[in-house]
Homo-oligomer: A and B are copies of this chain.
């Protein structure tokens, strides 16, 4: 009889938030292209010709995950990759015409979806909400490799 109230646990709420978003994305944006996949397309619209690792950095996906996401996008003909002639370890990524079209099409829909998603909040709350999430995530990411331990061992 010492159960905890999970509604005070930001991690639990974050998971539920993401699930809710996933569902809404599926109904309002696309059943084919996922939100992380769109983020990758978007990164390459912003900076064409990036390599795989850097794209992962831009959108917040680790080396393994970005590899999977990219291989799916290539399989679907939205991306192609060529070896960097300057550095034989790297692959340079580029959007295909269809990739570009897909990005354009989904951009409109994601805007609408974001509106619906945030509609329970007032305009001021929406701005605050985005800012708070960002501050918490940024701070936690900053704890990644800090040189000194985060907490004293119990």
**A interface residues (Cβ-Cβ under 8 A, vs B):** 1-4, 6-25, 27-28, 35-36, 39, 42-43, 45-46, 59-60, 103-104, 107, 109-110, 112-114, 116-121, 125, 128-130, 132-141, 143-144, 150-151, 154
Contacts and interface: CB of A to CB of B under 8 A. Distances in A.
Contact of A9 (B16, B114, B116, B154): B114
Copies of this chain, complex-wide, total 2
B118 A136 contact: yes
A139 B151 contact: no
Given A28-B150, A104-B2, A141 B11 contact: no
Contacts of A17: 10, 14, 17-18, 133, 136-137
Contact of A18 (B1, B14, B43, B117): B14
